[in-house]
Structure formats: structure tokens, C-alpha cells
Amino acid sequence: MSRDMEILAELIKKTAQVELKEENGKLYAILDETQSPDSMVKIRNLPSDALVIKVDQFRSPEDIFNGTKGECRRADYVIISSEKRCILYIEVKRTKDKWHKIVQQLRGAECFVKYCQDIGKSFWKESSFLACYKHRFVSIGCTSIRIDKKKTRIDKNSPIHDSPDTAMKIAYPKYILFNSLL
């Protein structure tokens, strides 16, 4: 296990992690939307060191911030892999939402990761903690298991979805392969 993943394992509580499962020798995770029990998506072929964090377990900073710019919002999940040197920010929606709200949620999750990075640097004295990782942003919509499943649609706003504003959009997913999110 890499030093980054060791620090994350020590830093992030088990209750904020999504348990990885195995199917045909490959790891996968089920990402669901807390407010909608019938909304979920399966991410298949996760790297062996993947850590899936349920970011919305992190208490909202509404007691401190006004929230006028959406700074209290957070995306649902972050997947970190040292092996792939990437951090995925994922927002799961049962149906669809206004794009600017999804962007705010992805930005909030990015701030959460930066906070974790600063904690690792300060408290674990690791100056290169989570450095040199690719950052990828993904919005997954129409995840209701009650909706008649249509063909999965992937819409990339730009060749590289490396910012919340240019996030990859996926709709009607049956499942998603991890590498397709990179």
C-alpha cells in the first residue's frame, strides 16, 4: 500500500468509506444517493487500492459559511487511487438537476480533498501527499432503478474533464467501468 493510501486509511473513518465488493475477481462499488434509496450505480473494475469516500458524510459547514455561492454543497463521492494516480469526484442524481448546482457540488468535493491533502501535509508531515494526481469530475444522472433503463449515454464537455465546469455527464447507467471515467 502506498504512503498516500496508508494516510487516507488512517484519516478517513470506515463509516465514511464505501465497502468494495468482488465479482469475477474484479472489484466494484455501489454508489447510491442517500436521499433516494432507489437511486444507485455500480462502478466496476476498480483498482486494487481504490478508496471510495462518501463525501456527504462530512458535516456541512453551514454553521460557518453563508452558502450564498454554493460553498456548503458537496458531491456524493470521491474515489482515490494511488495506483492510477487519480482522484474522481462523482455526483449521483436520481433524475437530473440544474448544472450550476452540480458544478457547486463537485467544487465542494474538491475542497474536501484539498482539506484532506492539507491535513496529510500538516499532521503526517508528508509534503507530497496526494500530489501529482489527475483530477476527474463526473456527473451521473438518471440512476433510478425504477426508470426503464435506456442505453448508457456519456457526454464529455471537453476532451479532459479535469474541472467541475467541464465534468463528464453520464445518464442511464447500468454500470460504469472505472477506466472510462479517467
Cell triple for 129: 501527499
* Residue 147 pLDDT exceeds 60: no
The per-residue DSSP string of 67-134 comes to -TTSTT---SEEEEETTTTEEEEEEE-SS---HHHHHHHHHHHHHHHHHHHHHHHHHS--TTTTTT-E
Most confident of 49-63, 106-120, 148-162, 165-179: 106-120
Amino acid at 70: G
pTM of this structure: 0.92
- Which of 40-49, 89-98, 104-113 bottoms out in mean pLDDT, i.e. has the lowest? 89-98
Rounded distance between C-alpha atoms, residue 68 and residue 173, angstroms: 32
Q: According to the model, what pLDDT value does residue 118 have?
A: 98
Rounded distance between C-alpha atoms, residue 20 and residue 70, angstroms: 31
- Residue-wise pLDDT tens digits, 61-102: 878 898 889 888 899 999 999 999 999 999 998 777 788 999
**Contact by Cβ (8 Å): 77, 92:** yes
